[in-house]
Amino acid sequence: MEYNDVELVQLVKENNDDAKDTIYEKYKYIIDIIIAKYKKVFYVLGMDLMEVRQDAMLAFSDALVSYSSEKETTLATFISLVIERKIQNCIRKADTIKNKKNNENYSLDYEYEIYNKPLSELIGDPNADPLVKVASKEAYEELVAKIKAILSPMEYEVYKLLISGFSYIDIAKILKKEPKQIDNTIQRLRTKVKELIYTCQN
């Protein structure tokens, strides 16, 4: 008998190891995508890739425990966002430790020579949305609700990954779609969001 993702997650929550193995085999590629995304940052900060992978796997497990169909997003997207958040926290922690060891101003604002960019820009702000800038949390949440209403389910999946800093190539890999399809989806959703913002401002 084949189970869908929601059913498999429920089995995982019931401590079914076979279900957990099935989901891991299906989505373990997401860990590789995110680790590859930050590989140079790990090198700059002297982070152990084995430890990073272990943290990513823990985040993977946390995602399965936290996920439900009420999240209104696919399991692949949810796993990606949870692992992304975990890895960014690990990077911030490693950066802080490096600051203390070197007693230098290596901070989120320090421009790393390998990139000529500050770490804050390399890993992105998890609370920032490159498509919208609003003054208050309430206004932001209201705008997000409106954005969700105008986007198709597929566009909204792409949107959530896009604002978390994933490239269209990585989004295509995560959602198992052709890069051109994701690129077209991004263009459509950007147009819709910009039109919405323009309408809200006028």
The pLDDT of residue 104: 46
CA angle (133, 150, 66) in 5-degree steps: 75
Q: Which residue has the tokens 């169909």?
A: 69
DSSP per residue, 125-143:
-TT-BTTB--SSHHHHHHH
The pLDDT of residue 99: 61
The pLDDT of residue 127: 47
Pick the CATH number of 127-202 from 1.10.10.10, 2.60.120.10, 3.90.580.10, 3.60.15.10: 1.10.10.10
- Domain limits, the chain: 1-124, 127-202
Specify the pTM.
0.76
Chain centroid to CA 145: 19
The pLDDT of residue 18: 94
Q: List, for residues 39-62, the tens digit of each pLDDT value.
A: 888 988 889 999 999 999 999 999
The pLDDT of residue 64: 94
Q: List, for residues 1-22, the tens digit of each pLDDT value.
A: 788 999 999 999 999 999 999 9
Which positions of the chain have pLDDT values less than 70?
A: 97-140, 201-202
The two tokens of residue 200 are: 């809200």
The two tokens of residue 76 are: 């692949």
The pLDDT of residue 94: 86
The 10 Å Cβ neighbour count of residue 22 is 17
Q: Which of 9, 155, 157, 3 is nearest to 72 (CA)?
A: 157
